[in-house]
Structure 1
Amino acid sequence: MSSAFPVICILHSLIATTSGALMMFHRKEIYTFTHGNETAAKLMGSTPQDQLLIRTSDSFSGLLLFAIGLLIFMVSFIKDREFQYFFAKGCALLHVFMALWRVNFERRVEVLAWDWLRLTAGDILLGLSWVLFLVCSWREKYD
């Protein structure tokens, strides 16, 4: 039984729960850190209604990401090899689709013009971690 699956799951869980918590509670600081002051001001909204809508949206997105992180943490304890393969394939595919989304749509958003490249590279690296698990498991199975 490969010990890589729980390690990869816990790594992804830490990334998701941390990102979700930061999105919910430290939105302004994260925008400033990742985009700079000028872009952060644009992303925060210009009217009180826009600001409330964006704050609510970010909070729910952060909550969803936090819940996904907890779910991935729980999945890390499953010992069924077939489920691990299925889950890893699904996660790799999800990261590929996320990278495609960023390339096709997020790069068109003027405010995020240069941010999409960094985020796409992150999606590809996270997807490759699942592919690495699948390759190592496959080699372990047939060696």
Structure 2
Amino acid sequence: MVFYLNELSVFGHGPETAKMLQGSTPHDQLLIQISDSFAGLLLFAVGFLLFMVSFVKDRDFQSFFAKGCIILHIFMALWRIYFERRLEDLARDWPRQLVGDIVLSLSWLFFLVYSWREKYD
């Protein structure tokens, strides 16, 4: 993802917006690259955490983790509603990303409903 960042930006946002998102000064470009690196590190950490949690057999912990993921996706949706829609460069992308956050939180909610069904059957 880091090696083809420009191509991913062009694919996701279009060529004009991708050029604006790269930054206009070397300082801005460095800050954006550092931010992208931290985002990649966060994605790796979340994936590794999900991998570790998948081996836990405790249902209470699994439901606790699912509730935390639901809250995280709700906060991400609120962030997109209140802040990202105000950025004119990203204004056309936030509804699609908002739908993605809602779908991901619903997937965790369905996991909770399924685990409650198994627990009370």
Structure-2 separation of matches of 1:29 and 1:110:
21
TM-score between both structures, scaled by the size of structure 1: 0.81
- Equivalent residue of 1:112, what SS? coil
| Matching residue within 95, 116, 120 for 1:138 | 116
Matched with 1:66 is: 44
TM-score between both structures, scaled by the size of structure 2: 0.95
Runs (4+) off by over 2 Å: none
CA distances 1:18-50 after superposition (whole Å, capped 9, x unpaired): xxxx1x332111111100000000000111221
Matched with 2:71 is: 93
Matched with 1:84 is: 62
Structure-1 separation of matches of 2:65 and 2:45:
17
Matched with 1:112 is: 90
Paired positions, count: 121
1:35 aligns to 2:9 (yes or no):
no
Unaligned 5+ residue runs, structure 2?
none
Cα RMSD for the two superposed structures = 1.0
- Equivalent residue of 2:85, what SS? helix
State the AA in 1 paired with 2:53. Answer: V
- Equivalent residue of 2:68, what SS? helix
Unaligned 5+ residue runs, structure 1?
1-21
Q: State, as a whole percentage, how many aligned pairs show the same letter.
A: 67
Structure-2 separation of matches of 1:80 and 1:95:
23
